[in-house]
Amino acid sequence: MHKRVIKPIVIGLVFLLSAGTAAASVGQPVRVTGLTYDGWGSTVAFAETHLKSVDTHIDDISCVGAIIAGNERNSSWVDGGVRYWDKVYCNGRGKSPQSRDFCSGLGLNYPCYALFNYKIIYDATGAEDSDYVVRGIKGSQLTPEQLQ
């Protein structure tokens, strides 16, 4: 079976290797229900770095591979010594800027932010960096599991 992967850029790979993504690399994959395999993949490090670069509201992010319930065998693969995941699970904290009126109404200096926690699935959908979807996910859909 042919696997499709988003095309890495050499400069991007050098950046990713130096970006300090060890925390993402050591996490155990999680088992996720309600998702469908599509054959497009991403590395955990790329998903994490890409999300931080496109969403300025993300303060903290940690990603691991997602094992698709019912399609465990195709959830990840190795190509050229690099592990790709059809889906990548990420969680963390973010902040959303609030209006000047909202801040002053609470007696806060402007700018002020609403803080939030998130759980998402990063899903590469094509060969370009811009080909991806972010899906919200419920914590009850997740179970830590060793990938075998």
H-helix or E-strand spanning residue 128: none
pLDDT band for 146, please (50, 70, 90 cuts).
very low
The domain of 32 spans 4-91+119-144
Q: Tens digits of per-residue pLDDT, 58-105? A: 888 999 999 999 999 999 999 999 999 999 999 888 888 888 898 899
Q: Tens digits of per-residue pLDDT, 96-141? A: 888 889 889 989 888 888 888 888 899 988 877 778 788 776 554 5
Q: Number of folded domains in the chain?
A: 1
pLDDT reported for residue 78 = 96
Cα distance from N-terminal residue to C-terminal residue, the chain:
19
Alpha-carbon separation of residue 126 from 18, 47, 85, 132 (angstroms) = 25, 13, 13, 7
The answer to whether residue 97 sits within a structural domain is no
Closest CA to 48 of 16, 82, 94, 79: 16
The answer to whether residue 84 sits within a structural domain is yes
Q: Are 106 and 100 in contact (CB under 8 A)?
A: no
Q: How many CB atoms lie within 10 A of CB 115?
A: 9
The answer to whether residue 34 sits within a structural domain is yes
Closest CA to 29 of 104, 111, 114, 121: 121
Whether 21 shows a pLDDT value over 80: the answer reads: no
The answer to whether residue 114 sits within a structural domain is no
Say whether pTM exceeds 0.75.
Answer: no
